Amino acid sequence: MICGYLGPQGSYSYLALTEGFPEMTPEACDTFSEIIEKVDTGAIAAGLLPVENSTEGAVTAVMDSLLTLQHGAIQAEVIYTVCHHLFMAEKDEAAMNTAYSHPQAIEQCRHFFRTHYPGVKLVPCESTSTACLLAKEAGNGTAAIASRWAGLHHGLKPVRGNIQDNRFNQTRFVLLGTGTPQPTGNDKTAIAFSFHRDTAGNLYEILKIFAEANVNLTRIESRPAKMELGQYVFFIDFEGHQQEPAIGAILEKLRLLTRTFIIFGSFPRAQRVLGED
Ligand SMILES: O=C(O)C(=O)C[C@]1(C(=O)O)C=C[C@@H](O)C=C1
């Protein structure tokens, strides 16, 4: 089964995919929206996407792209411990003037650079593994923030290890595919919705439905609806599976109260944390 991920090889998406789903054949993609589109059209069977990080919060590009999802559904989730390292083509710290990485990784290491390399310019690029290719190509003075695996795989020299600002740095990924996995008794459901009008108590009414059914929410986020200032799309993850009658009843009530209403899927909760070395 082919599974798309944010490439090239060595990105955290790649590491989470190969450790979490070793039976899949990884296919490198350039963007998160490309992965979603390919799953939706059936060009690939599955895709792995980072959705949130314990330090930096939501991966907003993924959330926005998920709103376009048509046929795909979340099948599973994995949690990966992200441990960043600093690499250069030649180990020459004094010459370092630029460091490339994915925007999420840059934010996860910002304090480290302010403290240790305040003069180094942090430049965002498509992924942490693209950063390795850029550092290799540019050579002198250019560094990459990436996993140890990626840096060594792309032939770079390690400069500093464990540079993330927070020792506890985990990213949660979801596996997109098609169909709905069977309930396991320990599942989560992910949805998004918007409201018809901006009126008092909208969100309260939704939260009350969950509270009265005694259903625990595991995540709540909002993103701009990108239509008008003050209009939002809400993303909620909660415990339970859409095929359980109590959860099905909640979803029906929500559908009546909302404008856009998307069920991203019901899937088993992550059982263990990957990437611990
Ligand atoms: O650039 C990568 O290595 C990715 O897989 C992307 C990504 C992200 O978007 O959050 C994945 C995990 C880390 O939090 C940093 C970057």
Q: What is the pLDDT of residues 49-92, one digit of tens each?
A: 999 999 999 999 999 999 999 999 999 999 999 999 999 999 99
User: Is residue 98 scored above 80 in pLDDT?
Assistant: yes
Establish whether this prediction's ipTM goes over 0.90: yes
Residues of the chain with CATH 3.30.70.260: 187-268
Does the CB atom of residue 81 touch ligand 1 within 6 A? no
Mean pLDDT to the nearest integer, 231-254: 98
User: Is residue 43 scored above 70 in pLDDT?
Assistant: yes
Mean pLDDT to the nearest integer, 180-198: 96
pLDDT of residue 277: 61
Residues of the chain with CATH 3.40.190.10: 2-82+169-179, 85-160
**Superfamily of 85-160 according to CATH:** Periplasmic binding protein-like II (3.40.190.10)
CATH of domain 187-268: 3.30.70.260
Mean pLDDT to the nearest integer, 90-113: 96
Does the CB atom of residue 12 touch ligand 1 within 6 A? yes
User: Is residue 139 scored above 90 in pLDDT?
Assistant: no
pLDDT of residue 23: 97
- Give the distance (Å) from ligand 1 centre to CA of residue 105: 6
Atom of ligand 1 nearest to the CA of 10: 3
Q: Taking a C-beta distance cutoff of 8 angstroms, is the pair 29, 38 a contact?
A: yes
The whole-angstrom distance between residue 138's C-alpha and the CA centroid of its chain comes to 28
Protein residue with its CA nearest to atom 11 in ligand 1: 12
Q: Taking a C-beta distance cutoff of 8 angstroms, is the pair 117, 96 a contact?
A: yes
User: Which among 109, 102, 107 is positioned nearest to 30, based on CA atoms?
Assistant: 102
Atom of ligand 1 nearest to the CA of 150: 3
Does the CB atom of residue 59 touch ligand 1 within 6 A? yes
Which helix (H) or strand (E) element contains residue 47?
A: strand 46-53
- Give the distance (Å) from ligand 1 centre to CA of residue 230: 29
User: Is residue 269 scored above 90 in pLDDT?
Assistant: yes
pLDDT of residue 28: 98
Measure the CA–CA gap between 151 and 146, rounded to whole angstroms.
6
| CATH class for the region spanning 2-82+169-179 | alpha beta
Does the CB atom of residue 130 touch ligand 1 within 6 A? no
User: Which among 181, 191, 97, 82 is positioned nearest to 135, based on CA atoms?
Assistant: 97
User: Which among 58, 115, 61 is positioned nearest to 86, based on CA atoms?
Assistant: 115
Confidence of residue 198 (pLDDT cuts 50, 70, 90): confident
Measure the CA–CA gap between 54 and 171, rounded to whole angstroms.
6
Mean pLDDT to the nearest integer, 162-178: 96
Protein residue with its CA nearest to atom 15 in ligand 1: 105
- Give the distance (Å) from ligand 1 centre to CA of residue 163: 15
Mean pLDDT to the nearest integer, 111-121: 97
